[in-house]
Amino acid sequence: MKAPGFWRRYKERSFRKREKRKAENGKKFLFSLYRPSSFVAEQFKIIRTMVLRSGKDRACRTLLITSALPEEGKTFVSSNLAVSMAQSVSDQVVLIDSDLRNPSLHLLFGIGREREGLTTFCAKDIKVTDVLYRTHLQNLLFMPAGLPSDKNMEGLSTEKLQRLIRDIRQLHKDCFVIFDTGPVQLLADSLMISDLVDGVILVVRIGDTKREVLDKTINTLQERKIIGVVLNYCKVPKELYHGYHRYYAKAAQVERIAGSFEKE
């Protein structure tokens, strides 16, 4: 006969294992951090440049990354873009997991699901610094979604989010704030956040999301706020991919030759 508590402990252990596996996968997920010279990381540098060029007078400083449906790559784009931005700009970058129903960014940054975050900030009268965590990069701060509870469903409100953005700005004047959210067609949160940010980046899973769904999503969001669309799951033509690596290898060679010349 199994000892009392066996199943609970068994479940806890397999949950911990699953979380660990997901965290290890983070290394594969964060191309901009772990594989900065890869083709994918280069694409995020292009997206970063477009963000820095966005806006009439100055770049959009608060961004929402969203999509029409689940699993289109919002977290993939928001995390890699945040890392890429933090690597290039001198201003602080703050990445916020505002997908309260299905948060996953904490796994990439090795922060436990139980840590306080956005939901705590919304529920209690605490300082924003209490829920901001340091990351591998000096100017990248991360705010996890926070503890799950039924109250979360009512947790986000325009006033609380405005206070959040204002407090972060008071702390880091010219910072970039990036929100990772859930899908527009299923949750109201992303719509609410889209009203408060300077720009929205829409992630589209190529070959999966139907045109009508996409049109509906663009109409639901304020169209003028969409600063760009990221086409995810694109098949990259072989010539382009290999061309990039050949070009990169050549550049690295030239750099090495230049380096050895300098030393002498």
Ligand X SMILES: Nc1ncnc2c1ncn2[C@@H]1O[C@H](COP(=O)(O)OP(=O)(O)OP(=O)(O)O)[C@@H](O)[C@H]1O
Binding site for ligand X (CB under 6 A): 29, 67, 70-76, 99, 102, 104, 182-183, 232-233
CB of 65 within 8 A of CB of 177? no
What is the phi/psi pair of residue 202, to 5°? -100, 125
Helix (H) or strand (E) holding 264: none
Partner whose footprint covers residue 228, from ligand X, Mg ion, none (CB < 5 to 8 Å by kind)? none
Query: Quick one: 141 or 203, whose CB is closer to ligand X?
Result: 203
Q: At what angle do helices 39-53 and 238-263 cross, to 10 degrees?
A: 90
Closer residue to ligand X (CB): 26 or 59: 26
CB-hemisphere CA count at 13 Å for 222?
13
Q: Per rule CB under 5 A, is residue 75 in the interface with Mg ion?
A: yes
Letters for 24-63 (x = contact with Mg ion by CB under 5 A, - = none) are ----------------------------------------
Least distance between Mg ion and beta carbon 107 (Å): 11
Minimum Å distance from CB 83 to ligand X?
14
Q: Which does 183 bind (CB under 5 to 8 A by kind): ligand X, Mg ion, none?
A: ligand X
* Structure tokens belonging to residue 185: 């067609």
What b/e sequence results for 172-197 when a residue is b if at least 16 CB atoms lie within 10 Å of its CB, and e otherwise? beebbbbbbbbbbbebebbebbbeeb
Query: For residues 45 and 101, which CB has a smaller minimum distance to Mg ion in the complex?
Result: 101
List residues near Mg ion by CB under 5 A.
74-75
